[in-house]
Chains A and B, each alone.
Chain A
Amino acid sequence: MTSASTYTPIATQTLGSNTPLVYFNSIPQTYTDLVLQFNGQGTSGIYNNMTYPYIYFNGDNTSGYYSTTSVLQRNTGSGETVLTTRNSNANNLALFLANTSTVFSPNIAHIMNYSNTTTYKTVVARGNGANGTTSVDGVIFGVGLWRNPAGITSITVGPNGTSGNFLAGSTFTLYGILAA
């Protein structure tokens, strides 16, 4: 029987200035899943004033043990496009998006069974960005794998893009969900 909180905020950050990396450290290993929600705007775009933020775990952004499969909608300038991408042997999970003008873009990542030390860690995530300019709007959803059975004790969120930052005012909240 459980009497503990089932969906609990662990930590929240609102950026007071432009920031290149956002950290959640010392994550307790007492939940079943983690949910990361952020409403972010980038300062440097990769494609049509959109950047594609990423996360990595436990400070590991060099191993090449990350991979993603995602579906992305965006406007190419000549019309709307839906494409799917795969990124193998990567150094992070780029499963999000953020506008670089006008609006903040909501994203959510579900980090499933993050604290077990047996299975690799898989994330499903989705993000939206719509500022009313069709060449900037976008939708993404994807799945990502970290081929490491370690429990996740820290998460780093980066905005991507050359010398990019998350804009001041971007918000980040980490929740824990506890199964009975």
Chain B
Amino acid sequence: MPTPLIANGFFGSGISGHLGGNYYSLQTVTVGSGGASAINFSSIPSTYTHLQIRYIVKGSGSTGIGGAPWRFNSDPGTNYTWHYLVGDGSSVAAGGNGTGLTSGNWGETYVDGTVGGIYTVGIMDILDYASTNKNKTIRHFFGEDMNGSGKVEFFSGSWLNSSTAVNAINYTINGGSTTITQYSQFALYGVK
């Protein structure tokens, strides 16, 4: 049984270049050959303005697309909402959900049984994550193309907690019942 991968610690440091040194690499998780049941970022410092997560990911199992719930600060409460716009090459759809979800269903993840090959890729921005007086909002742009099928999606979401900074992020596929496969990688960045 794969175990959760946890990126401990904060490895930010001064940078130069684009954004005037305002874009910092904080933590990265790369899944090894044993797979993982979850991706966890912890001990996220509150010293940045926004967070960004960039990733490639795939699940192991029968080919398809699985749910990808996210949680902040291990909060299992009904505090997550979302809306989306999606295109799959055949139709465009939009949808959403109000308050009442126990995780942020802010995405989907490609699943198949092979190693290598096609991965879902995405970029999630978490705005004003350190605020202690705003509900937290995210935007998530991701997709997977499988040469004949696939989706591209825009999500907006919220974690309805205005008083607590985001200090931990948890990601699973289908709530952890689907293994995250080798070579999947999640990188967390802080933006000043």
CA distance A113 to B30 in the complex (A): 12
Chain B residues contacting A147 (CB-CB under 8 Å) are: 118, 147
Is the CB of A46 closer than 8 A to any CB of chain B? no
Number of interchain pairs (Cβ within 8 Å): 156
Across the interface, B18 reaches (CB within 8 A) one of A7, A83, A88, A142, namely: A7
B interface residues with partner A (beta carbon < 8 Å): 11, 13-19, 21, 23-28, 54-56, 85-92, 116-123, 141-152, 154, 183, 185, 187, 189
Is the CB of A32 closer than 8 A to any CB of chain B? yes
- Enumerate the 6 nearest inter-chain pairs by beta-carbon distance, A residue then B residue, closest first: A86-B89, A143-B143, A84-B87, A71-B87, A179-B187, A8-B17
In the complex, the answer to whether B148 meets A86 with C-beta atoms within 8 Å is yes
Q: How large is the interface on A (under 10, 10 to 19, 20 to 34, 35 or more residues)?
A: 35 or more
> Helix, strand, loop or mixed for chain B's interface?
strand
In the complex, the answer to whether B13 meets A1 with C-beta atoms within 8 Å is yes
In the complex, the answer to whether A84 meets B92 with C-beta atoms within 8 Å is yes
Which residue of B85, B151, B152 has the most chain A CB atoms within 10 A of its CB atom?
A: B152
Question: Can you sample 29 A-B contacts with CB below 8 Å?
Answer: A1-B13, A3-B14, A6-B15, A6-B17, A7-B18, A32-B54, A67-B146, A67-B147, A67-B148, A69-B143, A70-B87, A71-B92, A82-B92, A84-B88, A85-B89, A86-B148, A110-B54, A112-B56, A112-B121, A116-B183, A122-B143, A143-B143, A144-B145, A145-B145, A145-B147, A177-B54, A179-B25, A179-B54, A180-B28
